[in-house]
Amino acid sequence: MTATKNNKTNYSLKIGLDIHNVLGKKLSGDGHILLKIPTHPNAQSNGYVFEHRVIFESIVGFYLDPEIVIHHINEDKQDNRFANLQMMDKSEHTILHHKGAKRSEETKKRNSIATIKLGWVATNHPNYKNIDKDVKELYSQGVPVAKIAEMTGVTRRTIYNRLKKIGLKG
């Protein structure tokens, strides 16, 4: 699929009360179909919007918040039938695609380095709890991991991760 070169209207579509002219169509680098709709409020700087989002918006009758993800149920990025589209938030979508993923230690380390370089550190996360000092003290006193988790309001997995991070458990 090649990009349309002219600014001639191919067809028009309605989202809520707004009518938009579709001026072109092309494939994104990762295989999604993009529509050229410069008047769309969430269009990229080049005027393109993901077709699956536009289809979803035109059927539900309102613009989607940019934080909302439209998932292709059958994983085919070009199957933009409404029946194949599912609305979810970013965290749900990430969990869906990464649940059960097995990563090598090398991959985990690379991801960790990339995360730090991008400035995505755990302490910036809204759910982060600064419990390292308490965990270290309680664990050193012989308090069981399950009890430490209960006392600090986190999961046992979090306690094990913190113990590994501070070098008390390998």
Same domain as 15, residue 85: yes
The structure's pTM equals 0.58
Q: How many domains does the chain have?
A: 2
Same domain as 94, residue 118: no
Same domain as 67, residue 136: no
Same domain as 64, residue 25: yes
Asked, for residue 1, whether it belongs to a domain, the answer is no
* Full residue range of the structural domain in which residue 159 is found: 105-165
- Sequence-distant (≥ 6) Cβ neighbours of residue 38 within 8 angstroms: 23, 47
pLDDT digits (tens, 9 = 90+) for 154-169: 999 999 988 988 888 7
Q: What is the CATH number of the domain that holds 110?
A: 1.10.10
Which of 47, 77, 98 marks a domain boundary?
98
Asked, for residue 6, whether it belongs to a domain, the answer is no
pLDDT digits (tens, 9 = 90+) for 1-23: 655 556 788 999 999 999 999 99
Q: Span 37-61, mean pLDDT? A: 96
Buried b (16+ CB within 10 A) or exposed e, 148-157: bbeebebeee
